[in-house]
Amino acid sequence: MWFSMTPAVPNPLQEDIRSVTGDLVRMLSLVKEACELARRGLIDQDVVAAKACIAGDDAIDAVQADLEMRVLTIIARRQPAARDLRFLGAAYQAILAIERAGDYAEHVASAAIVLADQPPLKRYTDSQRIFEVLGRMIETTMKAFAEADLAAAQRAHAMDNEIDELYRQIQDELLTYMIESPETVARANRLLEVARYLERLGDHIENVNEHVVFWLTGKRL
């Protein structure tokens, strides 16, 4: 029996989707790197790392601008349906959430530069733990996108609960500092801002995983 040796013709839509997936994962990787630089800026009082985080935000913004245009172009040219259309819609919404997560890492880095000139008010134990959770959360989100892994998206989504709890602990501790030692109010307020930035960063990564779940199941969390 004769078999054709002609290679299968690539599906242009699937090639486009693979390309978008790769760049979404790359964008998440850039945000993870930004978080690590912001962590070093805050925890280690490393001003060089904090400035590198701020400078690196341009790269995240550039990927965002390119990806948004590409997704819209793919939808217009390929006219996808069903799950492929859900993926592209979810990707388009996730792009903005990822970019905003990067912005919050930049905000933390900017605050870290100011705080580096002052003696630490306290050990940043809970902030360090938030950074650790964020690192795992972003890695798991990358897996969810790259492998269309629903369980990974659900795990990453649930990690935001731990971040929220750590944020509440930081709030309570810093409010106690401000009540007991009024001279610490300015620094404590700055640290409250940092904690809020980290909490919002986690919220945006949580939102990304909500979009992944919708892509894979057609259902909203």
CATH of the domain at 147: 1.20.58.220
In this structure, is residue 1 part of a structural domain? no
Q: Name which of 34, 151, 147 is nearest 98 in CA terms.
A: 34
Residue 97: inside a domain: yes
5 pLDDT exceeds 80?
no
Q: How much is the average pLDDT of 63-79?
A: 97
Number of Cβ within 10 Å of residue 105's Cβ equals 30
Residue 7 lies in a domain: no
pLDDT digits (tens, 9 = 90+) for 87-125: 999 999 999 999 999 999 999 999 999 999 888 777 888
pLDDT of residue 182: 83
Beta carbons of 143 and 152 less than 8 angstroms apart: yes
- Domain of 141? 14-217
- The answer to whether residue 75 is domain-embedded is yes
The helix/strand/coil state of 44 is coil
Rg (CA), the chain: 20
Q: How confident is the model over 137-185, as pLDDT tens digits?
A: 999 999 999 999 999 999 999 999 999 999 999 999 999 888 888 888 8
Q: Is the pLDDT of residue 1 over 60?
A: no
> 199 with 93: CB under 8 angstroms?
no
57-82 average pLDDT score: 96
Express each pLDDT in 14-40 by its tens digit.
999 999 999 999 999 999 999 999 999
**Residue 9 domain-assigned (yes or no):** no
Tally of structural domains, the chain: 1
